[in-house]
Amino acid sequence: MALVVQKYGGSSVADADSIKRVARRIVETQRAGNQVTVVVSAMGDSTDELMDLAQQVSPDPPGRELDMLLTAGERISMALLAMAISDLGAEARSYTGSQAGLITDRYHGQARIIDVTPGRIQAALAEGAIPIVAGFQGVAQDTKDITTLGRGGSDTTAVALAAALDADVCEIYTDVDGVFSADPRLVPAARQVPYITYEEMLELAAHGAKVLHLRCVEYARRFDVPLRVRSSFTDKPGTLVVHEIEENIAMEQPIISGVSQDLSEAKITVTAVPDLPGEAALVFETLAGIGVNLDMIVQNVSADGSTDITFTLPNADLGAASAALLARQEEIAFGELLQDEGIAKVSLVGAGMRSHPGVSATFFRTLADAGVNVEMISTSEIRISVVTRAEDAAKAVQALHTSFGLNAEGEAVVYAGTGR
């Protein structure tokens, strides 16, 4: 008997019929002789709707209350799914993240899991029931307040539970057939891959491919959880995330595994920073002090003893970061602070870059031919990323997908969801 953790995303449980369909799938898995634990997201776009509602009440709601509000979305879907399963003659029991033993730190909106104590889930499984766990939430170890793991975090709940339960596989059910060489909503000719390495998946997830939550991939790699992404609308096998692609399969692997875009970042430039030791430290200590995560950083060549420093950061942190820097403008002695929200980051990922020369040349030639201006560049061993104007991102992704020979013959199917 295998122990399977199945996670169903919002688009897979968007309405009553979808919930019944998913319930049938879960019961079939159990009747085939498996133990099943389910993690479920909020229905459709209901998390976004709750966010919008919060905004109407308060432009800057307290993190504790926002988390309490957002976790309600998953409570609705978990209870409805348990009802639908019970209607099919099987026993299901729904649990909030806190009841399921998801213990986190205290950072509202971006809490990290620090322990999983799934005693009630194990007890339910032992009694032949199907536990249904609310995704993307937990309870803070010290404050005992309800927390959320960040947008898309139900994937991470599923992997954390799979690790704690020592499950045989964690299946992430979504609205596309698996991991593709690009977002199929953006590139209809995107190609679905049967396997992808954790390393490449981490780069894609960190650079805008929201099909898997970044921390879910990190967690799965660390705890060796077999992770499969597949559609809840078909029986196709989907994509398995693996440590290494075996050699006989690797022969057919393309050099590049995917292209992604990320529209969630903004750019700040501080001009005329004195070109002296310790200046960059002052800038970045200021940002660290308010908990801002930076992505790309560029310092320009110094002219007249001063230099410009440009960096990207999450859009949501733009206001706080600018305020913190301006508050220390005299001390840091910079000239101006320029904000830019109209950027996108476009990334090309592939482990084959290590051993194949010429990838950068093709990358930049393609962008040039597509008329896309490059504002910043950053690379890792297996990734090239550039900052472009937001309105150029889709064009850049499509051109790169074509020039690296990733286009498939048919059109990718998107089964549901609004892509919001």
CA separation for the pair 322, 320 (Å, rounded): 6
- Cβ-based nearer residue to ligand ADP, 11 or 148: 11
64 binds, among ligand ASP, ligand ADP, Mg ion, none (CB under 5 to 8 A by kind): none
Residue from 73, 97, 135, 152 in contact with Mg ion (CB under 5 A): 152
The answer to whether residue 153 forms part of the interface with Mg ion (CB under 5 A) is: no
CB-CB contact of 208 with 345 (8 Å): yes
Residue from 27, 36, 37, 73 in contact with ligand ASP (CB under 6 A): 73
Q: Which residue do the tokens 């104007």 mark?
A: 389
- Cβ-based nearer residue to ligand ASP, 76 or 324: 76
Residue from 42, 81, 163, 412 in contact with ligand ASP (CB under 6 A): 42
The answer to whether residue 185 forms part of the interface with ligand ASP (CB under 6 A) is: no
- Cβ-based nearer residue to ligand ASP, 153 or 184: 153
The answer to whether residue 154 forms part of the interface with ligand ASP (CB under 6 A) is: yes
User: Which positions from 3 to 32 touch ligand ASP by CB under 6 A, shown as an x/- string?
Assistant: ------xx----------------------
- Cβ-based nearer residue to ligand ADP, 179 or 225: 179
- Cβ-based nearer residue to ligand ASP, 69 or 259: 69
Stretch that binds ligand ASP, among 121-129, 149-157, 318-326, 340-348 (CB under 6 A): 149-157
Q: Torsion angle, CA of 186/362/250/401, rounded to 10 degrees?
A: 10
Q: Number of residues in contact with ligand ASP, rule: CB under 6 A? A: 12
Q: How far is the CB of 204 from ligand ADP (least distance, A)?
A: 6
Q: How far is the CB of 102 from ligand ADP (least distance, A)?
A: 17
Q: How far is the CB of 260 from ligand ADP (least distance, A)?
A: 6
The answer to whether residue 160 forms part of the interface with ligand ASP (CB under 6 A) is: no
Helix (H), strand (E), coil (C) string for the chain: CCEEEEEECHHHHCCHHHHHHHHHHHHHHHHCCCEEEEEECCCCCHHHHHHHHHHHHCCCCCHHHHHHHHHHHHHHHHHHHHHHHHHCCCCEEEECCCCCCEEECCCCCCCCEEEECCHHHHHHHHCCCEEEEECCEEEECCCCCEEECCCCCHHHHHHHHHHHHCCCEEEEEECCCCCECCCCCCCCCCCECCEEEHHHHHHHHHCCCCCCCHHHHHHHHHHCCCEEEEECCCCCCCEEEECCCCHHHHCCCCCCCEEEEECCEEEEEEEEEECCCCHHHHHHHHHHHCCCCCCCEEECCCECCEEEEEEEEEHHHHHHHHHHHHHCHHHHCCCCEEEECCEEEEEEECHHHHCCCCHHHHHHHHHHHCCCCCCEEEEECCEEEEEEEHHHHHHHHHHHHHHCCCCCCCCCCCCCCCCC
Residue from 97, 131, 138, 153 in contact with ligand ASP (CB under 6 A): 153
Q: How far is the CB of 158 from Mg ion (least distance, A)?
A: 10
Residue from 12, 35, 47, 261 in contact with ligand ASP (CB under 6 A): 47
Q: Nearest residue to ligand ASP, using CB?
A: 154
Q: Which residues bind ligand ADP (CB under 6 A)?
A: 9-12, 41, 152, 174-176, 179-180, 182-185, 204, 209-211, 258, 414, 417, 419
Stretch that binds Mg ion, among 9-17, 24-32, 106-114, 187-195 (CB under 5 A): 9-17
Residues at the interface with ligand ASP (CB under 6 A): 9-10, 41-42, 47, 73, 135-136, 151-154
